Amino acid sequence: MIRGDKNPLFNKNTMDKQTIKILFLGDIVGKPGRLAVRDFLLQNRQNYDFVIANGENASHGFGLTQKNYDNLISYGINCITSGNHIWDKREIFEYINNADKLVRPFNYPDSVLGAGYRIFELSNGIKIGVINALGNVFMGYTDSPWTKIKQITEEIKKETPIVVMDFHAEATAEKICFGKYCSDAGISAFFGTHTHVPTADEKIMNNMAYITDAGYCGAIDGVIGMEYETSLNRFLTYLPERFEVAESADVQINGVEAEIDTATGYAVNIKRVYCVSNIKENEENES
Ligand SMILES: [Fe+2]
Ligand SMILES: [Fe+2]
């Protein structure tokens, strides 16, 4: 156990100032994920000033319908980030420009619809910038996340010192290295997503809350939120088979909470959140 100012989960220099607490929820996978998040926020929403969740898999594992976007916002989520799967439901192209709480990765060409970062304002006037980016390693083709990140951060910092990053990427080394680069740019909290498996490396890095991956919210059984059998068949036969969402009633929440100093934008502490519950049949109707 590391004590005092050497503990990587706390930033001693920023204690005792005014802070806000941000909850970040990892990729929400299908209906089990949506209901897990609904039930978790019903009990815990009041503990947080601002809630961000990755919604790229929220609609049957692939993409985000407008209905599910509205559902998730109604549960108390302030900002939905995304990733490579955000384009999987075609209706996204119809509503993304009106979805003012949705952020898609910024490193697409300028002609692509939606916003790569947004600034949100709490009722007390405190502002929070949220950026979403895609990694380049073992991912599809996009623009580099590296070239514009300092410029975007500077732009947000004209309005607020609090800047949060959802870095949606596969390779751990790319995530750690980009995390360090983002801490140099003055980002307050950096949450990795996409692998759906939470990592145990949360820490304060150069005044920034950091974790390589926040994990996912969804059915516990299965393979990263999807049904075991269809995943297995693809490995056994190499044939394409449509993935289905794992439908077990046992669900998990994986997330991270970070406290941020409102004056400096420095992270004060970071803590992983893990919760399991059971979705009962009679509670399954979504609002
Ligand atoms: Fe995902
Ligand atoms: Fe992804």
Determine the distance separating the centroid of ligand 1 and the alpha carbon of 228, expressed in angstroms. Answer: 16
Distance 156 CA to ligand 2 centre (A): 25
CA of 268 to the centre of ligand 2 (A): 28
Question: How many H helices and E strands in the chain?
Answer: 6, 13
Has 60 been annotated as catalytic? no
For residue 282, the model assigns a pLDDT of 46
Distance 83 CA to ligand 1 centre (A): 7
C-alpha span between 83 and 32 (Å, rounded): 19
CATH 3.60.21.10 fits 17-280, yes or no: yes
User: Which pLDDT tens digit goes with each residue over 78-132?
Assistant: 999 999 999 999 999 999 999 999 999 999 999 999 999 999 999 999 999 999 9
Q: Closest-lying ligand to the alpha carbon of 226?
A: 1
Considering only CA atoms, which of 272, 218, 227, 223 is closest in space to residue 249?
A: 218
Report the SS3 class of residue 131: strand
Contact in structure between 213 and 193 (CB atoms under 8 Å): yes
DSSP helix/strand/coil, 207: coil
Give the ligand whose atoms come closest to the C-alpha of residue 105: 2
Residues 184, 246: Cα–Cα separation, whole Å = 40
DSSP state of 10: B
Query: In this predicted model, what pLDDT tens digit does every residue of 184-231 receive, in sequence order?
Result: 999 999 999 999 999 999 999 999 999 999 999 999 999 999 999 999
Of 225 and 283, more confident:
225
User: pTM of the full predicted structure?
Assistant: 0.95
Could you tell me the distance, in angstroms and rounded to a whole number, from the CA of residue 205 to the centre of ligand 2?
A: 24
pLDDT digits (tens, 9 = 90+) for 3-47: 556 788 888 766 657 999 999 999 999 999 999 999 999 999 999
Q: Assess whether pLDDT exceeds 70 at residue 68.
A: yes
> Given 60, 85, 168, 194, which residue is catalytic?
85
Neighbour-count burial for 140-161, b at 16+ CB within 10 Å, e otherwise: eebbebeeebeebbeebbeebb
